[in-house]
Amino acid sequence: MNNFFTKIQAWLCKLLKCDCPTCGDHLLGAARPKPHPHPPIHPQPDPTPVPFSGGVLDVHFSPEGGCTDAAVKVLNAAKTQILVQAYSFTSQPIADALVEAKKRGVDVQVILDKKDHNGHGELGQHVKDGGVRVVLDGRHAIAHNKVMVVDGVTVITGSFNFTFAAEHHNAENLLVIHNCKMLADKYITNWQNHFAHSAAI
């Protein structure tokens, strides 16, 4: 009888696409497939903790918590370089700030998720048309980073996608870490790793 209920549980989990470790196809007699490993990305950033002294942290929350304005403020102050990794990208203010930075001579480069790039309202082509270098990362299930590194010392990151919905509808957070080159260097290394396997639009 226990075997009967086990098989029923397994059938239901398969039907509902459950992925709990105690059920699935293997309970119906099939071996659980091993996940397909992606090749490791090398070199990985140094995992050593970063001491933080003399920097400044800004934190913002959405909806309507000023996340977009905080990002745009940093972008508008950029002098040499802006490196971006984004999943969904529909924020017109952020896109415009990137194009304006490019116009004043800042090196602006953007990595976007390949699968999400053609979604409704995506602005990758818009910033590309403004002279920004844009590439698509298709190596992963999703390229889900939300990161900007500005002038090699400031990092913007958090759950906040660079989108209209993240600013106005979602519960998100955005952290701006100013004046922390050691941390920025780690993000730059990671950005370079993903740039290396990305392709131009």
Residue 22 confidence (pLDDT) above 90: no
Q: Are residues 147 and 186 in the same domain?
A: yes
pTM: 0.75
| 144 catalytic per annotation | yes
Any domain includes 125: yes
Any domain includes 130: yes
Any domain includes 45: no
CA distance linking residue 63 with residue 50, whole number of Å: 30
Active-site pick, 60, 137, 151, 186: 151
Q: Is the peptide bond before 63 cis (omega within 30 degrees of 0)?
A: yes
* Tokens representing residue 44 in the block: 């990985």
pLDDT tens per residue across span 128-183: 999 999 999 998 989 899 999 999 999 999 999 999 999 999 999 999 999 999 99
pLDDT tens per residue across span 113-141: 987 666 556 899 999 999 999 999 998 98
Active-site pick, 140, 144, 178, 181: 144
Determine how many CB atoms are found less than 10 A away from the CB of residue 175: 16
Residue 33 confidence (pLDDT) above 70: no
> Angle 86-41-21 (CA atoms, 0-180°, nearest 5)?
85
| 151 catalytic per annotation | yes
Q: Are residues 137 and 188 in the same domain?
A: yes
Q: By residue range, what is the domain housing residue 180?
A: 56-200
Q: Are residues 74 and 145 in the same domain?
A: yes
With CA atoms as reference, report the closest residue to 69 among 101, 97, 111: 97
In the chain, how many domains are there? 2
Active-site pick, 114, 146, 186, 194: 146
Any domain includes 133: yes
Q: What is the CATH number of the domain that holds 145?
A: 3.30.870.10
| 103 catalytic per annotation | no
Q: Are residues 136 and 169 in the same domain?
A: yes
Q: Are residues 154 and 90 in the same domain?
A: yes
